[in-house]
Structure formats: structure tokens, C-alpha cells
Chains A and B, each alone.
Chain A
């Protein structure tokens, strides 16, 4: 059964007793008489406002406005804890997303001012070739420039990216637009080296593995 609220005795009040040596006195005299409460149907925001306005550490929660019946109590740390839990779960989700996009973050492009954008793909893996190219394409398409130019940019990115994925030990790619609107695509990888240059110059010679060639590369 909800109990009616009369007064409130806080830790602060108790400390004051000890401080002023009122230990033997009747607590009734030192209790907070005008209790600040919050109705249970009010928002968390209004509770926070009350915490600030009246500088209290806790708020008894009443059944409804002007009611004196207590149904619970809420403290700032209750709210903070809840907020932290929520933030944590959001952060967890974001983290998962980030793990998925370790190579390139599409958001990075979204948040970068339009003309100068730059991103890097580190350790691009074979199963996601085309990722840099698709992201780059989406970006340039969004700028509303000629479809043919967007295609060329995407194809160049794709070829460079595929080479990094298939023929190197990993690498990075940077795509940027300079002051004069030139699109600069830079692909740097860690190569395996060429043991026999003459052999490498033979027409149709390839070091690509059978498995990779079967996939159409």
C-alpha cells in the first residue's frame, strides 16, 4: 500500500545533526518539511530539472500531481545508471558496426567536407574487393557529376583495389579531390617483389593462383 509522505530526513540532515551536536534532539524539528516530490507520470527531464532547481539528491515519487502518496523514490544516480546502460548498449552496437567496417568507414566520407575527402583502406581482404570502389562511387555520384566520369573513377579504384587484394600483402588507398578539382587516386601496397623480370614480361604470364582465377580475376 502506498504510504503518505509527511517529511523527509536526508543524509544531509543527519550530518547536520552531528555537526551541530543536536544528537539528542527530536528529529522532527530538523526534518525537511517541504518535501519536493515528482509525480510518477512526469518525465525524467522534469525530475532532472527538480534536482537542479531545489538542489536535492533524491525525489520521492508520488501517485499523481498534488498527491502525497509515495510510490517510489528516484535519485540522480538511478537516472545516470540507466543512461549509462543505454549509452553502453548504443556504444556496443556502434562498435559492432565499426568492426564490420574496419577497412573503410563510409561515415568518414559522409562527415568530410565535400571537395576534400580522403580515406584509407588498410589490409583490404580478398572477400571484399570492390568496397573502396563502391564507396568512392557512391560519394562521387552524390556530388552529381557526370556519370561517365564517376564510372571512370570507380573502375580505376576497382582495378587498383583488386590488385592490392589479389597480388599484394595489403595496402592503402587514398582518394582525394584537390583545389583544381582533380581527382587523385593513390594506391600503395606491399608487393611480393618480382623474382624473374624476364619471365614476368612474357605475355599472359600470371602469378595469380588457380583459386583466384576461377573467380574471374
Chain B
């Protein structure tokens, strides 16, 4: 057995994949992190407090993990979903009717809820340990934008089942946009933007119209939210996450007393 493993490890294929021996020596442990695309997000060594769960709560890591779950389950769901008013509801309903043990939609939905919570708790921890203080001011700001993106991802996804819950939650949420100062037709100042009797800002061109691609939550809003949910927002979030993780490293790793 031992010999077999030895032989396996000395093949050209094995050695082309793994550049180091079993990670039980300092040298190999260092190489394990350095030579692995995913592990090299980490530094080779970390402060002891940085691995203590009662210090970090692991919430940032779990948020990233949930984002990966969302990506995978979301990709699978996209195969079975057509973002039109005609089919959207049927397709989601069909998932329950025709896939007896399917839990992809459940995993997607509950992970999305959890992701909002883990983001909040992550920021809570970062605040309470003062980890936004210099030199990490910029990374805290990246984090705030990631919080907004997480909420927007969840918000756009909320509409896609196209049931009563979805449509009315988005209606309530997007109704706020029509009260935007100057940009919403029921917002303060909008009536000042007029020429003679002609209003520049009205229900057909205000902030809410831009959000929903219409005067109410309809087909246009469904397609718009779908594209943002599946492509636009994930791309933005992934880019910012790359910056976020890279800056964690560059700003001195998981925070600790200076």
C-alpha cells in the first residue's frame, strides 16, 4: 500500500498537480497555501485570534460560501425558468410539481435569507472589533457596497417567482422610488421641474419608472430584475469581493491589536 502511494506520488501527473509533499512540515504547509489558487487567498500564517471563532464569528467566510451556493443553485434554476409573465410562475410551480425531491429552490431561497443575516453579523463583528479603523477604512467602504449589493440581489430575486408575495413586496419596495426628491413624480421638488404647464418628472419617466421599466410591476420589470439578478449584480459583487479579499490581505490580514 505504502509502496503504491509512493509510486503514485512519483508519477509525472501527480507531480504536475501537487508541487509539495504532505503538508506536515513547515515547508510543505507553506507550499500548500502558496501553490493552491484558492488557499492562497489566505496568508501563510495568521494571528491566533484570527482563527478563534469567538473572535471572527466566521461570518465573512460564510457569506462568501453562501454566495457560492447561490451561484451554483441559481445556475441550475436558470435551466428551468423563463423570465416572462406567461411562464415564470408556471416554471417555479412546476419545480415543486415535477421534481419530487428537488431542494434547489429551497437551498437558493434559504441561503439568500441567511446571506443577508451573515452579512449583517459580519459587519457587526467588524464594527465591534474596530476593524474599520486605519488602515482598513477603504475596505470597510467596499464592504458597505457589498452589503447594498447583497440586499439588491435578494430584492431582485424576490420578484422572480411571480406570485402574489413577490409582486406586492416589490410594489411596496419600489413605491418608495416615486417619492425620491426631484426624481420621483411624488417627491418633493419634482413639481418645480416644469416648463410652463409641462412637468418634466411624471409617472412615465421618473425614478420608479426607470427601476421597473413601466408604471407598475409588469413584464418589463420582471425581465429587468432577472437580468440584474442573474448577471449584472453577481458580476459587480464578484468584482468587489475580489477587491475586498485582496485588501484584507494587503491591509494586514484579519484585524488584531496594532
To the question of whether A and B form a pair in one complex, the answer is no
A residues whose Cβ falls under 8 Å from a Cβ of B? none
B residues whose Cβ falls under 8 Å from a Cβ of A? none
